[in-house]
Amino acid sequence: MKKILVTGANGFVGQHLVKELSDNGMEVVGIGGQIGSTSKSPYVSEYFVIDLNDAEAVKQIDFRDIDGVVHLAGLAAIGPSFENPMDYINTNIGIQANMFEAALEQGAKPTFLIISSGSLYDAKAEQPLTETSKVIPSSPYAVSKIGQEQMAGYYGERGFTSIIARPFNHIGPGQNPGFIVPDVAQQIVAYERGETDKVTVGNLDGRRDYTDVRDIVRAYRLLLEKGVAGETYNICSGKDISGHDIVSGLLKAAGSKIPVEQDPKKMRPSDTPVFTGNNHKIIEATGWQPSIPLEQTLADVIADWRQRD
């Protein structure tokens, strides 16, 4: 594939993806909801500000010379979906339908890489979770992701090639607060600057499957190149890491001894003690392997936060 359209190009993953694609000889077209760092990036040949919720606006995209689409755009945080369920369903499913319809009207059939989520799986299923493990709609966010996958299947019947990626937790430089790694890293740097006297955390007992975002985007590229149409692939490390290990790893990366306290306001019962994926399918299909060790990821996250204002 030579020319790839990336939606959500300004986001945490998008900024890493455009570099990965460009570094591997692909021409990248970026789509975002506003001007951002990617709009000025040397890794994109073109950048467009388009509201993907607007079906007419989406028709401005010329899909006829696009070989592949990596669809990252949408609402990604699970928590707020409980308060705003229809926003998630309308946005995540709607913008994908708008793109398929625009391409269909133009007579264009690029390959779509649909970014779903490992959070769709039933946490009570046998671990590690495979692509055939039970999927359960545990949140409006999950419902929207299931809808995106089914929408891809529908347009597959209309002649489109789609590949489904289900990434598990991904971490790395550039991630904003709202997740354990950036939340703790931000507090560590605030302590270094004399802005706080401790780091506060929630429940650290749960074990999750973490992969560096730079490994994640490499998997996306390889799926565009070698993935099988209509197939679904987990993208994960295959290892489970506790919240305690994450916090201690960040403190070690910072080289500081900082008081850590549990905050009752951040405590949530860990009803899912372990959540980890099986990555054998993508390894067999593409040769992909996660290559960046957790220690390097956490060190890079600390360095990133130290550079922020």
CATH number of the domain enclosing 200: 3.90.25.10
**Is 150 contained in some domain?**
yes
**Is 75 contained in some domain?**
yes
pLDDT of residue 268: 62
Query: Is residue 9 within 8 Å of 44, Cβ to Cβ?
Result: yes
Cis amide prior to 128 (ω within 30 degrees): yes
Q: What integer is the mean pLDDT of 113-138?
A: 95
How many domains are contained in the chain?
2
Model confidence, pTM: 0.95
Residues 184 and 61 in one domain: no
pLDDT of residue 192: 96
Distance between CA atoms of residues 99 and 4, nearest Å: 14
Q: What integer is the mean pLDDT of 136-163?
A: 96
Q: In which band, very low, low, confident or very high, does the pLDDT at 194 lie, cut at 50, 70 and 90?
A: very high
Residues 95 and 181 in one domain: no
pLDDT of residue 132: 97
pLDDT of residue 79: 84
Distance between CA atoms of residues 185 and 191, nearest Å: 10
Q: What does the pLDDT look like over 239-296, one tens digit per residue?
A: 999 999 999 999 999 998 999 999 888 876 546 789 999 999 999 999 999 999 999 9
Residues 108 and 228 in one domain: yes
Residues 29 and 53 in one domain: yes
Residues 60 and 95 in one domain: yes
CA distances to 78, 253, 307 from 256, in Å: 32, 8, 17
**Is 182 contained in some domain?**
yes
Which CATH number is 115's domain given?
A: 3.40.50.720
Structure tokens at 71: 């669809």
Residues 25 and 152 in one domain: yes
| pLDDT of 51 strictly over 70 | yes
Residues 301 and 214 in one domain: no
**Is 282 contained in some domain?**
no
Determine the structural domain holding residue 266 and report its residue range.
173-208+239-276+292-307
Residues 58 and 91 in one domain: yes
**Among 209, 213, 175, 250, which residue's Cα sits nearest to residue 19?**
213
Structure tokens at 14: 């998008």
pLDDT of residue 271: 60
**Is 284 contained in some domain?**
no
Residues 187 and 74 in one domain: no
Residues 44 and 147 in one domain: yes
**Is 41 contained in some domain?**
yes
Distance between CA atoms of residues 256 and 15, nearest Å: 30
DSSP, collapsed to helix, strand or coil, labels residue 10 as coil
High-pLDDT (> 90) share of the chain, %: 89
Residues 142 and 8 in one domain: yes
Residues 187 and 217 in one domain: no
**Is 287 contained in some domain?**
no
Q: In which band, very low, low, confident or very high, does the pLDDT at 178 lie, cut at 50, 70 and 90?
A: confident
Query: Is residue 32 within 8 Å of 9, Cβ to Cβ?
Result: yes
Count of C-beta atoms within a 10 Å radius of residue 46: 13
**Is 140 contained in some domain?**
yes
Distance between CA atoms of residues 28 and 255, nearest Å: 38
Q: What integer is the mean pLDDT of 15-33?
A: 96
Angle, CA of 281, 93 and 235, to the nearest 5°: 20
Torsion angles phi and psi, residue 147, rounded to 5: -60, -40
Query: Is residue 188 within 8 Å of 298, Cβ to Cβ?
Result: no
